[in-house]
């Protein structure tokens, strides 16, 4: 853009535009891209900085740099997991972020939480199909009968994962009922690690399990809508006492499981404690309840508990492909969240219209200094 054209713009619009020379002035321009990568102590981050400049690539890099600065300055980060990211091995990068103290709470769907465990115990039994759209209904039924549950291009092996863990969890639920105890869903699962009830698949890398990393670092996990998961469905069947229950099937009291409302209480206390001395950023991977649930903690603290001194979310970064239509939470932009007091006008926000499996590894690379 020529200086003349730039001067014609309003002051507000000028602030939104970054000139090419300013975009590049933080890089050494003495040689080719290969030279920068070769001499860099962080070649992946350098490559990203050199190439991710525009559109969703640029938005990804901008978000990564903001998040890195936020963490470097003592800020904290919450990550939310939607879809089937755990089956798609998000743990390869998320676990390392947790180990390096760059993630301080994870909010995950019940499916993502349990699927991290399933990958841990049954990794070698998973299957992958790149041309999954070409499967016929008859082929899909074959996969069903074989116990392979398809998630886009990935098949989850039910017998080697879900059914291996179910007896251990049922025993925990029965013991809790006998003792009059109640726990969160993730607390029962963590006992699988703590009591060494499960072991890693010989062909799996235990370091790729984000739930194991979270257990070892003892960071909180929030699972809104636990019943919307395979193990949640199984738990629902055990607590059911209706006319379709077979007398031979075991029954468990629903009281042994803490609820989503109690998870929200956990969020109240965690947010107020952790935000007392540090701002907290929000990284949303995909849409849905895993993000919609915890982001509401700030306005609820302000408007429902009527607390006066509540720190706003420092920043909000979302990676997703949902359109902004039909009142979709997942596709709503950052500005809409201002009207609900979920974000303030001072909160950083960036919406990356992309596939999480494409954009998140770039952000993770920058945060890890790769």
pLDDT (mean) for 62-72: 97
- Indicate if the pLDDT at residue 370 is higher than 80: yes
Query: Using CA atoms, how far apart are residues 185 and 103, in angstroms rounded to an integer?
Result: 20
Q: 266 or 146, which is more confident?
A: 266
- Indicate if the pLDDT at residue 37 is higher than 60: no
> What single string gives the DSSP state of each residue in 140-165?
HHHHHHTTEEEETTEEEETTTTHHHH
DSSP annotation of 229: S
- Indicate if the pLDDT at residue 30 is higher than 70: no
Q: What mean pLDDT is reported for the chain?
A: 90
Query: Using CA atoms, how far apart are residues 156 and 149, in angstroms rounded to an integer?
Result: 5
- Indicate if the pLDDT at residue 24 is higher than 80: no
Confidence of residue 147 (pLDDT cuts 50, 70, 90): confident
- Indicate if the pLDDT at residue 122 is higher than 80: yes
- Indicate if the pLDDT at residue 100 is higher than 60: yes
Strands 154-157 and 148-151, bridge-based pairing: antiparallel
The 10 Å Cβ neighbour count of residue 138 is: 7
The CB-side HSE value for 198 (13 A sphere, CA atoms) comes to 27
Q: Give the domain ranges of the chain.
A: 39-368
pTM metric for this prediction: 0.91
- Indicate if the pLDDT at residue 330 is higher than 80: no
Flag the least confident range among 4-13, 163-172, 215-224: 4-13
Q: Which CATH class is domain 39-368?
A: alpha beta
Q: What is the pLDDT of residue 337?
A: 86
């Amino acid at each position: 853009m020529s200086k003349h054209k730039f001067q014609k713009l309003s002051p507000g619009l000028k602030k939104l535009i970054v000139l090419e020379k300013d975009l590049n002035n933080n890089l050494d321009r003495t040689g080719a891209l290969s030279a920068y990568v070769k001499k860099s102590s962080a070649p992946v981050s350098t490559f990203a900085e050199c190439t991710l400049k525009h559109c969703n690539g640029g938005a990804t890099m901008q978000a990564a740099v903001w998040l890195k600065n936020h963490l470097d300055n003592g800020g904290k980060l919450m990550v939310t997991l939607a879809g089937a990211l755990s089956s798609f091995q998000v743990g390869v990068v998320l676990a390392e972020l947790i180990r390096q103290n760059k993630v301080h709470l994870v909010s995950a769907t019940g499916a993502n939480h349990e699927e991290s465990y399933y990958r841990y115990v049954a990794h070698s039994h998973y299957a992958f199909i790149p041309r999954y759209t070409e499967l016929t209904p008859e082929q899909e039924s074959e996969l069903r009968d074989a116990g392979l549950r398809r998630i886009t291009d990935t098949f989850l092996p039910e017998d080697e994962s879900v059914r291996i863990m179910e007896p251990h969890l049922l025993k925990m639920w029965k013991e809790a009922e006998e003792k009059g105890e109640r726990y969160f869903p993730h607390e029962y699962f963590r006992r699988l690690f703590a009591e060494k009830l499960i072991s890693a698949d010989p062909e799996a890398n235990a370091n790729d399990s984000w739930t194991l990393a979270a257990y070892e670092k003892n960071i909180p996990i929030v699972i809104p809508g636990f019943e919307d998961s395979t193990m949640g469905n199984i738990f629902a069947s055990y607590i059911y006492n209706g006319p379709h229950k077979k007398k031979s099937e075991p029954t468990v009291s629903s009281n042994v499981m803490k609820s989503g409302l109690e998870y929200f209480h956990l969020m109240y206390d965690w947010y107020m404690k952790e935000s007392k001395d540090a701002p907290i950023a929000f990284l949303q991977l995909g849409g849905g309840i895993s993000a919609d649930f915890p982001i509401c903690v700030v306005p609820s603290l302000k408007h429902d508990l009527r607390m006066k001194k509540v720190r706003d979310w420092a920043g909000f970064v979302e990676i997703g492909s949902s359109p902004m239509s039909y009142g979709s939470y997942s596709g709503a932009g950052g500005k809409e969240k201002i009207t609900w007091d979920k974000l303030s006008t001072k909160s950083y926000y960036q919406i990356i219209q992309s596939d999480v499996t494409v954009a998140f590894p770039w952000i993770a690379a920058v945060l890890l200094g790769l």
